[in-house]
């Protein structure tokens, strides 16, 4: 164990059982968190940040690998680490009918902390003015501050924050980031998770970039995220001089200069003001200058080429893949995560095809019952025209009808049913029904009261 590290993991692996098989949440994670300052676990959703934090805190048991927090193995000696660690996970809640001060007082009594510490953490969290207010009246930002105050009751050496600015408004995000930075300046080691690149750039001293459960890169923020990396798109007052402007910038020592029509594009420049200064010396006036900072997808793609192999697979597969040269596992994970960030959108439902369903051949459109046309409705079967407009008189059934050679053999009918023009079975009387057909019952069956004998 390196004495300069607060957290160290080696070959950490965690899988979950799902309906489609084993899901690899974390694979081959070698994490290094230095003592002091703010360390950020940065990655998109599903990168394994929360799962990693839960394993560090003993809330989830890894399938393989080793964890040491302040040199103490976890989870074997978790109790020793818990005394020195404060935790704020997502979804932290308190009793809505209790004030902030009362909630902290109860927690302090349960942890054996002096009551004087309650006022100290309220001041550290910036909640002194709202200590007497009920928790149910707190805003999302105040709730997060109270959770941080509760985590500070034991004066921890390590503070773990899982997405501390999630669901906060811009003002709340600024206040919570300022609180975290102040705690780190006072000597507390802060480990936080985030999917916001700007948060890691502004708040963290060191960073570990995760993608698909793998470590893509880790180190100082300035070296990995490069807050000086800016792409500048400049347009000069005379669009026809865009080519000359590009030559002027190259002559001034500016690298990665290209033109896109009437726009001059400079990649990876430290200070966008260098572009305007170099062009102004040659009497080329800039009419538009747009700096474009790198986003998280760009960072993942940029770091994918330098990612070190960690071994294992990125995701479980049902069948063995065909033999072919494969990229580094961490690089492949970073590229896959970047592709999902760059192409968001709803996925097609199961069985759906692009362009809509194919038309069925040999069938007309369906219509609704009772309607003539329209999608999804049914059409009535064609009826042959009647031979005569006048209705035929009813034919009285007789014994001769049974033996008539013109009648073709017919299948047996269920009891009580007579084909049109047929004869009644012996002992059955016709009974009129609502739909005009005849239902029949035995002659010796019960009759309605008042009926003819």
Residue 394 C-alpha from the chain's centroid: 72
- Looking up tokens 């054996």 gives 112
Residue 185 C-alpha from the chain's centroid: 34
Q: Is 350 exposed, middle or buried (0-12, 13-18, 19+ CB in 10 A)?
A: exposed
**Which of 224, 247, 277 delimits the end of a domain?**
224
Residues 171, 280: one domain?
Answer: no
| pLDDT at residue 228, rounded to an integer | 52
Total tally of structural domains belonging to the chain:
2
Please give the C-alpha separations between residue 386 and each of 58, 327, 393, 394, in angstroms, as whole numbers: 84, 77, 14, 16
Residues 170, 263: one domain?
Answer: no
**Which of 193, 224, 255 delimits the end of a domain?**
224
318 pLDDT tier (thresholds 50, 70, 90): very low
* 452, part of any domain: no
Residue 215's CATH number: 3.40.50.300
Residue 69 vs residue 230, higher pLDDT: 69
Residue 89 vs residue 436, higher pLDDT: 89
pTM score of the predicted model: 0.60
The stretch 353-382 carries a mean pLDDT of: 46
Please give the C-alpha separations between residue 318 and each of 20, 315, 321, 329, in angstroms, as whole numbers: 9, 10, 9, 18
Kindly report, residue by residue over 1-54, the tens digit of the pLDDT.
Answer: 677 899 999 999 999 998 888 999 999 999 999 999 999 999 888 889 999 999
Structural domain including 39 reads 5-84+157-224
Residues 193, 244: one domain?
Answer: no
| pLDDT at residue 46, rounded to an integer | 87
* 46, part of any domain: yes
Residues 169, 280: one domain?
Answer: no
368 pLDDT tier (thresholds 50, 70, 90): very low
* 63-72, 257-266, 359-368: least confident range: 359-368
SS3 content of the chain, % helix, strand, coil (to 5): 30, 25, 50
Residues 181, 213: one domain?
Answer: yes
């Amino acid at each position: 164990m390196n004495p300069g590290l607060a957290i160290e993991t080696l070959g950490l692996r965690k899988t979950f059982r799902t309906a489609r098989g084993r899901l690899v949440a974390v694979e081959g994670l070698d994490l290094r968190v230095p003592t002091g300052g703010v360390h950020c676990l940065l990655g998109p959703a599903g990168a394994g940040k929360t799962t990693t934090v839960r394993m560090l805190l003993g809330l989830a048991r890894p399938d393989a690998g080793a964890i040491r927090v302040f040199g103490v193995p976890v989870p074997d000696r978790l109790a020793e680490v818990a005394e020195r660690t404060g935790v704020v996970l997502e979804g932290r809640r308190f009793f809505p009918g209790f004030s902030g001060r009362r909630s902290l007082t109860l927690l302090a009594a349960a942890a054996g902390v002096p009551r004087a510490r309650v006022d100290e953490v309220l001041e550290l969290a910036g909640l002194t003015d709202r200590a007497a207010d009920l928790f149910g009246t707190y805003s999302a930002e105040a709730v997060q501050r109270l959770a941080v105050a509760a985590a500070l009751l034991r004066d921890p050496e390590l503070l773990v924050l899982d997405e501390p600015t999630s669901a906060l408004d811009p003002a709340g995000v600024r206040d919570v980031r300022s609180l975290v930075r102040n705690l780190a300046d006072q000597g507390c080691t802060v480990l936080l998770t985030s999917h916001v690149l700007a948060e890691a750039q502004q708040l963290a001293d060191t960073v570990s970039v995760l993608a698909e459960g793998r470590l893509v890169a880790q180190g100082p923020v300035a070296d990995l995220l490069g807050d000086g990396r800016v792409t500048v798109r400049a347009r000069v007052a005379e669009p026809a001089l865009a080519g000359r402007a590009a030559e002027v910038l190259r002559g001034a020592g500016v690298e990665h200069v290209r033109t896109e029509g009437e726009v001059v594009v400079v990649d990876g420049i430290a200070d966008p003001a260098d572009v305007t200064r170099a062009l102004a010396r040659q009497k080329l006036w800039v009419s538009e200058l747009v700096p474009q900072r790198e986003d998280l997808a760009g960072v993942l793609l940029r770091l994918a080429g330098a990612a070190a192999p960690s071994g294992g697979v990125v995701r479980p597969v049902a069948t063995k893949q065909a033999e072919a040269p494969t990229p580094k596992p961490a690089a492949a994970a970073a590229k896959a995560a970047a592709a999902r960030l760059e192409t968001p959108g709803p996925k097609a439902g199961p069985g759906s095809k692009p362009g809509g369903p194919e038309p069925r051949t040999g069938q007309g459109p369906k219509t609704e019952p009772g309607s003539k046309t329209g999608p999804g409705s049914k059409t009535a079967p064609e009826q042959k025209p009647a031979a005569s407009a006048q209705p035929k008189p009813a034919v009285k059934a007789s014994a001769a009808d049974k033996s008539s050679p013109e009648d073709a053999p017919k299948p047996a009918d269920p009891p009580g049913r007579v084909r049109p023009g047929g004869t009644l079975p012996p002992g059955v009387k016709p009974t009129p029904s609502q739909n005009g057909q005849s239902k029949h019952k035995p002659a010796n069956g019960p009759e309605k009261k008042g009926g003819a004998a």
